[in-house]
């Protein structure tokens, strides 16, 4: 997850998201067999999602250009293939805030690729190279495990992918794992540059895995595994896709998850959805843990060494995963 932005800066950030020419990269594709089609939503298994989160964390910090990053990317690609997705792999060298070239990899798993009516589900799979909000100054330049910030959203989507592979919905679904989301300008650098975040989704928006790709809407999952998480209606989500926000939040309340999905407005957040909105014109929402009582707007462990498995809660994973499944299978 990246950071809150002042509402007065929103227009500028939205404009920046669509600027620039496509960067060079490559895409490969793997095609699966087709599962049985049905419209009844399956049961989201929280234990499975928890295990997928733990599996990612077990590789270590998933910072681009690291061994752990490559190993985790290979694991995610293999899991999407195992769960019956048509796999697309986008590889590109993306320039970080400090000029470092990041060997990035976006992973896309497509279900029902022949369907024209599609929904995009996405999350970032990299982890932050800095603990720049850690209270201990000695930790500021240390990479973090990113159990919630990154791995939780991917873990939920892997469980959804497993269910999609067993029981196909009546629409097409694309699961996008964005890379290099969390390599943005750190707090200890004075010259803040907003478009140094979300590099993978910026690349994908300019170079979608399918030419002229469109979806009915998109749902971004970011920090969706923390104990007692609260998901407010994020500003850019409401501006781009208010009916989708209402559909998802209403579904969550119907399922009994109202304590997680709060019927109130939150802040404006720089995140992958803004580039999907501005770059591809897909109305998208961000389901993200937001805490209005903290200085940052996020959990106390955000961008610190304490973003680990101790914070991951099966009940939260279940609330998010079941809600998204119900939305997908009732289109």
| Domain parsing of the chain, residue ranges | 3-17+34-328
Architecture, CATH, for domain 3-17+34-328:
3-Layer(aba) Sandwich (3.40)
Each residue's pLDDT tens digit, 132-167: 999 999 999 999 999 999 999 999 999 999 999 999
Residue 305: Cβ within 10 Å count = 17
**149-163, 180-194, 232-246, 302-316: which has the minimum mean pLDDT?**
180-194
Average pLDDT over residues 50-64: 98
| Residue 28 pLDDT | 65
Answer positive or negative: Cα dihedral of 279, 280, 285, 286: negative
| Residue 36 pLDDT | 45
User: Is residue 10's pLDDT more than 90?
Assistant: no
- What CA–CA distance (Å, rounded) separates 184 from 3? 10
More confident residue, 196 or 38: 196
CA 227 to chain centre: 18
| Residue 1 pLDDT | 55
**4-8, 86-90, 97-101, 255-259: which has the minimum mean pLDDT?**
4-8
């Amino acid at each position: 997850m990246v950071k809150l932005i002042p509402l007065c800066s929103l227009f500028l950030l939205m404009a920046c998201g669509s600027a620039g020419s496509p960067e060079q990269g490559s895409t490969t594709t793997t095609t699966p067999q087709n599962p049985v089609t049905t419209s009844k939503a399956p049961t989201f298994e929280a234990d499975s999602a928890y295990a997928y989160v733990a599996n990612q964390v077990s590789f270590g910090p998933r910072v681009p250009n690291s061994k752990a990053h490559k190993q985790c990317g290979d694991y995610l690609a293999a899991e999407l293939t195992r769960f019956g997705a048509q796999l697309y792999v986008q590889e590109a060298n993306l320039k970080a805030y400090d000029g470092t070239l990041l060997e990035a990899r976006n992973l896309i798993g497509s279900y029902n690729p022949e369907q024209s009516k599609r929904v995009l589900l996405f999350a970032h799979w990299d982890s932050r190279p800095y603990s720049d909000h850690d209270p201990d100054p000695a930790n500021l330049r240390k990479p973090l495990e990113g159990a919630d910030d990154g791995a939780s959203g991917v873990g939920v989507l892997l469980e959804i992918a497993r269910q999609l592979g067993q029981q196909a919905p009546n629409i097409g679904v694309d699961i996008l794992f964005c890379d290099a989301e969390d390599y943005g300008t750190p707090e200890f650098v004075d010259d803040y540059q907003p478009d140094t975040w979300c590099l993978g989704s910026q690349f994908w928006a300019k170079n979608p895995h399918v030419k002229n790709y469109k979806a009915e809407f998109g749902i971004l999952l970011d920090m969706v595994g923390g104990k007692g998480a609260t998901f407010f209606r994020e500003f850019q989500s409401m501006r781009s896709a208010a009916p989708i926000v209402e559909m998802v939040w209403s579904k969550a309340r119907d399922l009994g998850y109202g304590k997680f999905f709060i019927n109130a407005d939150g802040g404006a957040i720089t995140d992958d959805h803004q580039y999907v909105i501005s770059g591809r014109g897909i109305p998208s929402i961000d389901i993200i843990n937001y805490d209005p009582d903290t200085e940052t707007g996020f959990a106390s462990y955000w961008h610190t060494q304490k973003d680990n498995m101790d914070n991951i809660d099966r009940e939260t994973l279940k609330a998010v995963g079941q809600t998204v499944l119900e939305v997908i299978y009732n289109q």
